[in-house]
Each structure stands twice: as structure tokens, then as C-alpha cells.
Amino acid sequence: MYEIQPTKEFLVGIDSDGCAFDTMELKHKECFIPNTIKYYNLQAISKYAREAAEFVNLYSKSRGINRFPALVESLEWLQKRPEVAARGVAVEIPQALIDWIEQETKLGNPALEAKVAETNCPDLKHALEWSTTVNDTVAEMVHGVSPFPLVRESLNKLAEKCDMLVVSATPNEALKAEWGEHGIDEHITEICGQESGNKKETLSNAAKYGENKVLMIGDAPGDFKAAVANNCLFYPINPGAEETSWERFYNESIDKFLNGEFAGDYQQALLDEFDSYLPMNPPWPVND
């Protein structure tokens, strides 16, 4: 876990994919999902596999979770779908992968590589191949995607009084490439991706700052949970309304945060609005 040494009065954590950058749809629809269908033999039910993966990663309260739990959840939804059962397709979820996810906090390729070297488990080796290929596809596919409007201006506005961390479940290498490509890393103290630990662990740095002095900016319920676990304030970037969210942040919410007016009714109104954007259950019928 990265340990920050405070240099400013405030700390701001910022998620990357779908929050600072409009990369969520591109990465999942063009990079993750095709490889999931290929590696987990879902060709016969590709339509449903795509719907399940999009629901988990983009359009539900699971949005933004780490790729390995997201893979398992997508497969679980397929197991419950009547259309999949009707086609006689057996969707297998490797127990070894479930066990590893439950035991490991740094859910990235380095930790999985170490586990594969230790156990030589074929299911974990297969998951590692899937994840490595996803990274290769992302590196090839994802470039030229600018930050959302007013992200750069918001970071500049925060810089005088705030230390800043990128807090993400994306691999570090991809994060550094994206933030560096667009030159918005100049005010960032550290880029903390999946190899640095989970978001909750990274935000434990909040304990070094005063009450209501730490803000997490995120687009997914997992970002909010990590903030709550560390007594941080939370500003939501609403999925599908990102430009409006950043405009409000730049014009209104930054000043409220720095002036001690963010906590309480103002934040609660933002959270209530955020909660309405993502459902818990899919729009299709499921078997118990």
C-alpha cells in the first residue's frame, strides 16, 4: 500500500476509468468482453455473455469493481439465466479463482502470477492468461481518449491546497500511460492502481488528515464504500452524466469542500441522486 506524506491541508482521491476518463465503455466492450467470451468458451451464448458483463461492469451497482470479481459475477449471472440453461450451455466458475479472490487483497496480475507459480493451478493459469491478454488488448486499443471536460481545470483548482492520489482498480502501467499521455499527472502525488492494493487500503491514508479534509471522487458504488470505510467525503460522477457532474464539481463542489461546507445535507443530496443511477438487479429474468 502506498503511504503518503502529507504536504497540503487536504487530500483528494480520484478514480480513473469512467470517472476522470471516458474509457469504461471502450475498455469493457472492445477489450474485456471479447476476451471473456473467447477464454471462457461463451461463444454459443455470446449475446447473453455480453449483456451480463456489461451489466456487471457498466450498468449496475457492481460498476467499477476489480476485473476478477467482475468476471466471477458475470459468470454467476449467466448460470442463473433461463435462456442459457435452455441452450444446454454449462457455465463453469473455477473454484480456485473464487478462493484466490477471497484470500488476496492485491487483485492484480503480479499477485496472480505468484499464486500460479506456487500452485501451478490450471484454472488460475487460465485466468492469468485472460487477464494478460486483456491488458495487451487495452494497450493496443485504448489511446487518444481525453479526460472528461473540466477534469484538468478541477485538478488545477485543487492543487494549491490538496495532495492528490489516483485511486483505481486499473493496472498501474495503464494508469500512468493514460494520465501521462494527457499531461494531467503533474499535480498527482501518486498513481495507485490494483498492484498498490484495493481502494479501501489506498484511502486509509485519510487518517493522516483532519476531519472532512479528505474527498474521494468516483463513479461507482465501490468508490463510495471505500470512502465510507475511511471516513472520507465522497463526490459522485454520475454514470451517463459525467460532463454535468464535473461541471458542478468545478463550479460549486470544490469551493464547498475547501470551505468546510460539503459534509451533511449537501453531500447527502449528491448521494441520493447517485444512488438512482445504477440498479442492483438486471433487467432480465433469473433462476433462483
Which tens digit of pLDDT belongs to each residue from 241-258?
999 999 999 999 999 999
pLDDT on residue 88: 95
Note the pLDDT of residue 264: 97
Structure confidence at residue 171 (pLDDT): 85
Averaged pLDDT for residues 3-16? 96
Helix (H) or strand (E) holding 191: strand 190-192
Rounded to whole angstroms, the Cα distance separating 264 from 274 reads 15
Q: What Cα–Cα distance (Å) separates residue 266 from each residue in 12, 14, 34, 271?
A: 18, 20, 41, 9
Residue 227 belongs to what H/E stretch? helix 221-229
**pLDDT tier for residue 268 given thresholds of 50, 70 and 90:** very high
- Which residue in this structure is represented by grid cell 449475446? 47
Q: What is the pLDDT of residues 106-158, one digit of tens each?
A: 899 999 999 999 999 999 999 999 999 999 999 999 989 999 999 999 999 99
**pLDDT tens per residue across span 149-188:** 999 999 999 999 999 999 998 889 889 999 999 999 999 9
Q: What average pLDDT score do residues 84-105 get?
A: 96
- Does 105 have pLDDT greater than 90? no
Stated pTM of the model: 0.87
Stretch 47-59: mean pLDDT, rounded? 97
